[in-house]
Amino acid sequence: MTEPIPLDALCDLTRITEIALSPDGGRLAFCAAEADPDEDEFVPSLFVVPTDGGREPHRLTRLPGASSPRWSPDGDRLAFLAAREEDTERRVGRETDEAEAGDDEDRSDRKEGENGDEDRNGEEDENGSENGGDGGDGDEPKAQVWLFDLDLGGDARQVTDREEGVSEFDWGPDGERIAIAARDPTDEEREYLKERRDGGPIETERLQHKLDGAGWLDAVTAYLFVVDLDSGEETRLDDAYGGGAFEPLSGMDPSWGADGRIAFTSCRTENPDDTLVRDLYAIRPDGSDLTKLTDSDLAVGFPRWSPDGTRLAFVGRDPENWCIPAQVYLHDGAGYESLTADLDRTLAWSARPVWEDDETLYALAADEGRTRLIRVGVDGSVDRVFEAQGDDRAMQGFDLRGGTAATTFSHPTDGHDAFAVDAADLDAEAEPPSLRRLTAVNDDFTNECAMPACRRFSYESSGWEIDGLLYHPPEFDPDDPVPRPLVVAIHGGPISYDEPVFDFSHAALVSRGYVIFRPNYRGGSSYGREFAETLRGRWGTVEVEDVVAGIESAVDRGWADPDRVFGYGFSYGGIAQGYLVTQTDALAAAAPEHGIYDLRSAFGTDDSHVWTENEYGLPWENQGAFDASSSITDVGNVRTPLLVMAGGRDWRCPPSQSEQLYVSARKQGVDAKLVVYPDEHHDIGTPERAIHRLEQITAWYERHDPASEDDDAR
C-alpha cells in the first residue's frame, strides 16, 4: 500500500513558470516558483541554464522574486521584472528634500504597491487593490525592470523607477532602449490613489468597476514609454495607451520589431468597459505614425513581429463567443487573416506565436485533450508536429531561437521540467537523441514518494465519445482492478481541458488510496467548436450527463466503488458540482470551490458581466435562461454533504455565491461546512492555504466515507 504523502510536502515543490531562449539558442532563462513557508508565499526566482545540458541551472535571483525574463538582441544581457527595494546606485548623489531624507520606509511611501499584471503573481493590498486598480500598499516596492549583464557579472541593475511600476516590456532591436507599459496617473488621480491607500472611499464611474486580482479599478491610463538604458531617460508615447475591461490583466503586449515599429493592443471602442474587443496597433518609437491594424472584430493578444519586421503574427479570439477556437492570425502589412481557422482547434491558454524564420512559426494548440505543437506557415499550411512528445505528458511553454527549441514537460510520474531539443528534430515521431532534460526541480520529491500513474480512456455519453483521465496508485492494475474510492475532479473554464500532468493534489489523494477521474466533458475545449458550443447558454445540462456517465463507466470497469464517489473542482468545477448535487445523488460528498450557483445575483457582483451577457443576455431580459442555469433554484434537492470553499476577495466567483449554497444546505439539515480564505482571489495563492485546502478536502471525504461509517458501526 502506498504511504500517504504528507500534505506539507507541497512546500518542497518547485514549478517552472516562464522560459526564454537566448538569441543563439545556447542558454535558457526560466523562472521557477518555490514555496517560502516562513513568509507563506510562492516566490519565483530567475535561473539560467545552458541548453546543451552540460551544466546545472545557475540561480540569478532569490527574494523578492522575478518574472518576464527577456534577452537583449545580442544575448549578453537579461532583463526581468521584480518588485525589489530601490537600487542603491539610484540613491547615491540624488538631491533629497526633508521628506525624502528619512529611512527606506519614508522613501517607499511614495510607491503604490505591487504590479497588477496577472503574470506577476501579485497580491492585493489591504484595501483590495493593485497596480491595475486604485492604489496599493505604500510599504511595498513596485515591479520595475532590472537588468543583468551576464558578460560582466554582478548583481542586477535597476532600469526603471515608475511610481506605479512596470507591467510589461520589450527590447528595442538596437539593444539600447526598451519599451515599457506603465500606468501614468494625473495629479488628480494621484491624489485619489493616496486617499485610497489611506482608507478613503472607492469612487468610480467605470462599468468594469473591479477585476479579480487587480482590485477596484480606477481611471488611470497605461501608456507605452521608451526608455534609454544608459541614461534612464523616458519618453511617453501619448498615442500608445491601453484601455478595455480586462486591460489590467491582459496588458498592452508591447512588441518591438526589427523595422522599428512597436506593436501593442488596446481597446478604443465607444464603451471599452462593455466589450472584450482588443485591437492591434503599431507606432514608431518617437510616437509618430500610429496605425490601427485590426477592425475591432477580435480580442487580440500576443503580437509577435517576424524576424525581418514586415509581418505580425498574433492570437485572435472572437470577443463574443469563446467557443470559437482562438487562432493564429497574420498581418502582412496590407491586411490580416487567420492561418489556423481550418484546424478547428483552439490555441492553448497563453500560447504565443513563435517565429522560426520569416515564413514559419510555431504555437501550442489544444488538441484532443492534449497540448501539442503545431507548425504554421505564412501560406496557411498547418501541421501537427513533435509526435515524440507522446500522449502521456503535457507541453507547457515553448520557445525557439538559434536552431534550438525549448519547452517544459509535465508528466504525472516524472514531474515538471525544462527540456531542449534541436529544432531540426521537431518532426520526430520517436524521442530524438537531441532531446535534453535541463532541470530536475522536483527529483527529490518524485524519488521519495510514490507518484500516480495515469491512463486515458473513453466512454459514451448521449451519443458522444467523451475522454477522461484516470490517476491511480502505481500498484493499482486498471486491467485487473479492485474497486477503490473515486474522486471526480472537474476542470474549470468550462473552455478548458484536462491532460496528464504533474499535480500535488493528484499525488496526495492517490497516496491515500483514491483513484481520480478527470472528465473532458462537453463544453470544454480541444475537441472543436461544436463540442464546446453544446454547453453554451445551457450550463447544468450536457456536462452533468458526461460526468455521471464517466462515473458509471469507472464503476462498470471495476475501478470505483459506487458508494464511495467524491467530488471537487474549482471555478466551473465548483459550478458543475452545484448541478451534480442538485440533479443527482452520484456523490457521497462534494467540495465545490470558488463557484457560482445563482447567475442572476452574480451579475454585477462578479467581474464577468461582459462574458455573461455574451452568453445569456441580460438578467432582466432573459430571466428564464439565468434561472435554468442556476443550481440554487434546485437547491431543495440537495442531500449530499457539502464542503463549500471560497476566496474572500474572489471577484470572478464572489464568496456570497458560496454563502448562498452553504446556508441553503444547512437550512435543510444537510451536513455542510463553509471555508472562506479572507485574502484569497480566484486562486490558491499561498502555501499555507493550499495545504489547508487539501487538509479540509481529505478530512471531509473521510468524514463522509461510507466505509469509514461502516467501520465505526462495527
Q: What is the dihedral angle through the alpha carbons of 14, 16, 21, 26, rounded to the nearest 10 degrees?
A: 30
647 grid coordinates: 476566496
In order of their start, the domains of the chain are 84-142+160-296 (no CATH), 298-385 (no CATH), 450-713 (3.40.50.1820)
335 grid coordinates: 491586411
| Residues 182, 268 contacting (CB under 8 angstroms) | no
pLDDT value of position 107: 27
pLDDT value of position 104: 33
Residues 6+ away with beta carbon under 8 Å from 25: 51, 400, 401, 402, 403, 404
Does residue 498 sit in helix, strand or coil?
coil
Helix residue spans in 584-640 (DSSP H):
599-602, 609-616, 623-628
Write out pLDDT tens, residues 132-147.
554 445 568 999 999 9
Cα of 209 vs its chain's centroid, Å: 22
208 grid coordinates: 468594469
pLDDT value of position 685: 84
Q: Which residues of the chain have pLDDT under 50?
A: 91-131, 134-136, 713-714
Phi-psi region of 302 (alpha: psi -120 to 50; beta: other; left: phi over 0): left
| Residues 520, 466 contacting (CB under 8 angstroms) | yes
Phi-psi region of 478 (alpha: psi -120 to 50; beta: other; left: phi over 0): alpha
144 grid coordinates: 520595475
Residue 694 main-chain phi, psi, to 5 deg? -65, -35
| Residues 534, 559 contacting (CB under 8 angstroms) | no
CA atoms within 13 A on the CB side of 629: 24
pLDDT value of position 262: 98
Write out pLDDT tens, residues 32-79.
999 998 889 999 999 999 999 999 999 999 877 899 999 999 999 999
Max CA-CA distance within the chain?
82
pLDDT value of position 219: 96
d(CA 690, CA 697): 11
Does residue 62 sit in helix, strand or coil?
strand
d(CA 142, CA 163): 7
662 grid coordinates: 452553504
Burial tier of 185 (Cβ tally within 10 Å: 0-12, 13-18, 19+): buried
DSSP assignment string, 285-304: TTS---EE-S-S-SEEEEEE
Q: Helix and strand tally (H, E) in the chain?
A: 14, 38
Phi-psi region of 247 (alpha: psi -120 to 50; beta: other; left: phi over 0): alpha
| pTM reported for the whole predicted model | 0.92
d(CA 337, CA 316): 10
Does residue 106 sit in helix, strand or coil?
helix
Cis peptide before 64 (omega within 30 of 0): yes
pLDDT value of position 205: 96
